[in-house]
A and B are shown apart, each in its own frame.
Chain A
Amino acid sequence: MSTRLARGGRLIDRTKPITVTFNGRRMAGYLGDTLASAVLANDQMMVGRSFKYHRPRGVVASGAEEPNALVGLGTGGRFEPNQRMTTTEAFDGAETASQNHWPSLEFDIGAINNKFGRLLPGGFYYKTFMWPRSFWKHVYEPIIRQSAGLGKVPTDRDADRYEQAYAFADVAVVGAGIAGLTAALGAAKAGKRVIVLEMTPACGGRAVVDGITIDGQGADAWVAAAVEALRGMDNVTLMTRTMATGLYDHGYLMAAERIADHTPGDGRPKQRLWRIRAGEVITATGAIERTLSFAGNDIPGVMLAAAVRDYVVNYGVSIGDRTVIVTNNDDAYRTALALLDAGLRVPAVIDARANVTGALAQAVRDRGVRVLAGHGVAKVHGGKRVTGVAICAQAGEGAMIEEIACDCVAMSGGWSPVVHLWSHCGGKLNWDETSAMFRPDPQRPPLGADGRGMVRAVGSANGMLTADAVLADAHAAFGSGAAPATDAPAEAAMEPVWIMPQGAGPKLRMKMWLDPQNDVKVSDVQLAAREGYESVEHTKRYTTLGMATDQGKMSNINGLAVLSNALHQPIPATGTTTFRPPYTPLNFGAIAGEARGEIFQPLRRTPIHDWHETHGVEWEPVGLWRRPFCYRRPGESTEAAVNREVRNTRQNLGLLDASTLGKILVKGPDAGKFLDMLYTGVMSTLAVGKCRYGLMCNEQGFLSDDGVVVRLSEDSWLCHTTSGGADRIHGWMEDWLQCEWWDWKVHTANLTEQFAQIAVVGPNARKLLEKLGGMDVSKETLPFMAFAEGTLGGFDARVFRISFSGELSYEIAVPASQGRAFWEKLHDAGQEFGLMPYGTECLHILRAEKGFIMIGDETDGTVIPQDLNMAWAISKKKADYLGKRGQERSYLASADRWKLVGLETLDGSVLPDGVYAVAPGVNANGQRNVQGRVTSTYFSPTLGRGIAMGLVKHGPDRMGEVLDFPGDNGKIHQARIVDQVFFDKEGAKNDA
C-alpha cells in the first residue's frame, strides 16, 4: 500500500496538517503536499479512468507530464475540471473528485470497452459506424461523446478574477533548478536585468531530490544560498508558482503565475498572466523521464522511477512496500537507493542492458539488491493495483523466467529534454544517439525580430544529463571562471529500449501502453504504420497518440520510436510532431483577464451618455459606442416609443445626440485639392460658411461613407462621417496623405470626441434656438446648408443648418466639456415647444420617409453611388477621384445593375427587412432568380403605413410595377415600385 512515512519529506510541513477529500473520503495531508502526494499518502492509488477503455488509472508521474491523475477540484463557481493532481498544491478543505466513470471510480460501466478492446484498435471508428447513415448523428456519436470527454462541465460563472501584467528584462530564465539558478546568477552578476520563472513553489529541481553535493554543500543548501543571493539583487526578479506557457514570435513570452489557486477565496486574483519581453530567453526547463513499454505498464502502481523517488524524498510518501525497478539507464538506481534509505524493500532492479557497470548500480548491489542485467518485464500482474511482475529476457519474446511479488513498479526509459519553449517559435532539434533523445540544435534556434537566435537552452533542457554537465553548461551561458562542481558519480551509458521484451508478439504489444490517458498502445502505432499512416502527424492523428492533456510529454518519443521501427527508418527520419503552446493547459479566465462583463470591451461614451441612462434609454451598440435606440416612458413598448418620437419630431421638436458622428478637420493649402480626390463631388469650390453633402468611395469604387462637409475657413474644412466610419476614414485620409500624396500640404485631425453634437429637429427648432439667444439663426442669415459660429445660450457653438430628416433642423456642436450642460439647457428650454429626445430608430424612420440613404443599409460594400441614383453627387468634370477607375469596370458600369427605388406594399403592411424580389425561373445552379432586394423598411407613423427602399434591376425605369417578395412561412409580399421620397416631396418643411 502507499502511505506516509514516519520521516522525510523536504517539501511538506508536518506541523501544518490539512484535510483534503477525494470522492468524499477525507484524507490527511500536510501543507506542501500536492493533491497527488496527499492521496497517495492515504493509499489512494487509483485516481481515474482512461479515455477510451475506461481502464483504472493511477498516478504515474510527479510533475507536468502526468497523464492520469486528473480530478475535478472545488465546487460551484470554483469548480475546475481536469486539474492535474501532481502540480496542484493541496490546501485545507480541497474537494476533489475523480473523472470519466459511471457510476463510480471503483465500478465503471464504461470499462466494458476494455473487454472489447480487440474490436477497438486505433482508428476503428473510421472503419465503422457508417450504417445506417442517420445513426451517426443520433446513435453512435452521442454514445461516443458521452463516453469520452474526461472532466465534468462547470455550470457556474467563475467566482475568481484574473490579472494581467507586463514585465521586461534582458534575460528571462525559465526554470529554477540548478541550471536555471546558475544561469541566472551568471547573468545577474554580469549586470543584466533578470527574471527567473519557476513553475513549482520551491526551487531546486531534481538535484535536491538526488541529494548530491555542489561545491561541497548539500544541494538543498546550495540552492537555498543561490535563491537568497538572487533575491538580494535589485536586478533580479524571481517568481515561483509561475509557468512559462508559451514563447511567441519575436520573443513574446507568456507566463501564468498561480496566486490564489492554493488559497481560494482569500480575495486575491486566482492567477496573473505575465507578458514578458526579454532580450534573451534561457530555457532551463529540465528533462522528463520516459516510460518503458512492457505489457501492463498502465496498471496503477507502475510509476516513473524518478516520481517514486520524488514522493519519498519530497513528500515522505512511499508508493509501495516492495518496489521493483525496471530501467535502461543508471539514474533509476537513485530511486533504489532512496527507497532503501527510507527503509523500503527493493526486491530487484531489472536492467535491460546486458552489461550493468555503473557506480550507481554498484552502490545498489552493495546494499544487497539483486540486479538482473539483460532482463525485462514480460507482464505486470494486477488490476486496480500492481501485485507482481513476470521477468523475462529482454532479448527474447517474453517467456517468463521468474515472478516477483511487488506493489510498485518504478520504470525508467531514459530522459527527454523539455524542448517546448525552444520549439514553439521554430527552434530545431537534433537526435542524440547516445542518450536517445531530441535536444536543441544550437545552430538552428528560434529566431527573433532581428533574425538572430533568441533562445538558449541550458542544463538538462539542453541534453546535459549529469549534474556536472548541467552546471558547466549553465555556467557557460553568462559566467566566467570555474563552474560549480558536484560529487555526482559518473553514469554508464543508457541503452534505448522501445519495447520490452524486444521480440514481444502481438498479444503483449496490445498490452503495452504508450499514452495511458488516451489508451494508445504499441500495437496501435504499429497498425497505423501498417495502414500507411506513415507520417508522424498521421500516426498521431490516427491513433490520438500525444493528443491527451499532457500533449505527449511522456509518450511522444516512445511512440515515434515505435513508429520508426515499424517503418524501418531511423528516428530522426520520422521526426517529431509540432510543439504548440501552452506548455501546460492555461485557464481561459487567465487569458481573458479582467475583460469581462461591463468592461469586456472599452465603452465609448458621449458627453451626454449619463443623461440618457437616467431617461429611459434603450441602448444600441454602435461600434464601441452606445447610442440611444429610443427612450421608453414607463409602461411604453419600444415600438410605441419610436412612433411617438417620430410623430413628435415631425409635429413639434426632437433632440438627437449626434456626438458619435465623425468630425475630421482637414486643413492646409492643398486641403481642397485633397478633398476633391477623396469625395466624388467637388469640395474645393465650397464657399466659406457653407455645407455640402459628399460621398466617399474606396478604390474599388464602392461607396464607403457619406456626410456633410463644411468649409470653416479659407484653408480648413470639417468633414462629417458616419459614427462607425470616423476612425476608418481618418486612417484612410492619412494613408493617402502619407503614402501617396506626401508632398501635398494638408493636415488632418480627428475631432470626433472634442465636440458634442446635438441635432435640434422639427418645426419648432428655430424657436428654441432663438429662445436661447446669442446668434442669428434666421432663414435669411443662416439658410439651409449654411454654417455659423458663435454662442447659443452662453455656449460656444458651431451651428450647421442641415437636415437628415426633412425637417427644419440645426446640428449644433459645442466643446465636449459643455455637451451635457448644453443638452440639458436645450431639453429644459424646449419643453414649451414640445421637445422630446429621440433615438437612432426614429432617426432612421425620419430619413427613410424622405428617401435619404443610410450607409450600411442602402450600402453593403457592393453598392456604388450610381446605384443609388446619386450621380448628382459625382463630379463629371474631375479627371480623378478615389474610386473613379474602379467604377469604370465593366460590371460596375453595366446598365443592368440594381438601382434604388421606393417600395410600397399593396396592403400597406411593412415589408420584412432583407427580402428579395423574385424573377421568373431558376439559374443554372437551380437557385431562384432574383431581381431586387429591400434595403430599408419601416412602419411610417407619419404616413400610417409601411414604407421601404430597395435596389431593383432597372428599378427607376419600372415605376408602378408590382414585385413579389417571398417572406416567412411561404408568404408572398407584393410591393409596388414608387419614388423613394415618401413624405414632403417638395421639401417644404425643411425650407420653413
Chain B
Amino acid sequence: MLILECPCCGVKAEETELAPGGEAHLKRFGPGSSDADFDSYMFARANPKGVHFERWRHANGCGKWFLAARCTATLEVFGTYPAQTTEPPAELQAYIKSRRPEWEGYK
C-alpha cells in the first residue's frame, strides 16, 4: 500500500486514493509524425528496474494529476511534483542522485 504525497493538496495519500497513469514526460506525437515517433509516444516504455518517473492522479481526493519519482525495485519515493512540468525539478534530480549514485540521470 504505497503512500504518495499529492503536491497539489498536500495530502499523503494511500494507493487506494490514487490512480496510476504510467510513464511520465512522454512527448505526444500527433498526425503526420513518423511511425517510430508515434511508437515511442504510445508504446515503447523505459520500464526501468530502478528510478522511474511516473504519473499519478489523486483520483479519490483532489482529482489532480501529479508526477512522482519512485524506485521500482525498492518502492522508495524520491519525491512528487506537479504534472505541469516538462522534466523533473533539478533539486529532485539532485536528491535522487544522492540516494542512487549509480543512477544515470534523467535524459
Contact = CB atoms under 8 A, between A and B. Distances in A.
Interface in A713-740: 731, 734-735, 738-740
Contact of B3 (A449, A879, A889): A449
A449 B13 CA distance: 12
A731 B1 contact: no
B33 A449 contact: no
Contacts of A699: 42
B84 A738 contact: yes
Contact of A451 (B14, B31, B63, B76): B76
B57 interface: yes
Contacts of B77: 449-451
B29 A731 contact: no
Given A738-B84, A879-B31, A884-B30, A250 B57 contact: no
B31 A734 contact: no
Question: Which interface class (under 10, 10 to 19, 20 to 34, 35 or more) fits A?
Answer: 20 to 34
Contacts of A731: 19, 57, 59
Contacts of B14: 252
A451 B74 contact: yes
Interface string B50-71: 0000010101000111000001
Nearest to B84: A742
B75 to A, nearest CB: 5
A264 interface: no
A451 B84 CA distance: 26
Given A250-B2, A884-B30, A885-B38, A734 B63 contact: yes
B74 A738 contact: no
Interface in B1-46: 1-4, 14, 19, 21, 28-33, 35, 38, 42
A248 interface: yes
Nearest to B35: A889
Given A731-B19, A734-B63, A447 B76 contact: yes
Interface in A448-463: 449-451
Question: Which interface class (under 10, 10 to 19, 20 to 34, 35 or more) fits B?
Answer: 20 to 34
A248 B30 contact: no
B102 to A, nearest CB: 14
Contacts of A885: 29-33, 38
A885 B37 CA distance: 11
Given A426-B74, A449-B77, A735-B65, A886 B1 contact: no
A251 B63 CA distance: 25
Contact of B42 (A252, A739, A886, A888): A886
A913 interface: no
A21 interface: no
Nearest to B67: A739
Nearest to A446: B74
Contacts of A880: 30-31
A699 B31 CA distance: 11
A740 B64 CA distance: 13
A735 B42 contact: no
A246 to B, nearest CB: 11
Interface in A841-898: 879-880, 884-886, 888-889
B65 to A, nearest CB: 4
B2 A449 contact: yes
A738 B65 contact: yes
Contacts of B2: 249-250, 449
A252 B75 CA distance: 13
A791 interface: no
A700 B29 CA distance: 12
A875 to B, nearest CB: 12
Contacts of A250: 1-3, 75
B12 to A, nearest CB: 9
Interface string A232-260: 00000000000000001111100000000
Interface in A901-959: none
Contacts of B29: 885
Nearest to B39: A889
A578 to B, nearest CB: 16
A949 B63 CA distance: 39
Nearest to B42: A699
15 contacts: A250-B2, A251-B3, A252-B1, A449-B3, A449-B75, A449-B76, A449-B77, A450-B77, A451-B71, A451-B77, A731-B59, A734-B63, A880-B30, A885-B33, A889-B38
Interface of B: 1-4, 14, 19, 21, 28-33, 35, 38, 42, 55, 57, 59, 63-65, 71, 74-78, 83-84, 99
Given A449-B76, A885-B33, 16 more contacts: A249-B1, A250-B1, A250-B2, A449-B3, A449-B75, A450-B77, A451-B71, A451-B74, A700-B42, A731-B57, A734-B63, A740-B28, A879-B31, A880-B30, A880-B31, A885-B32
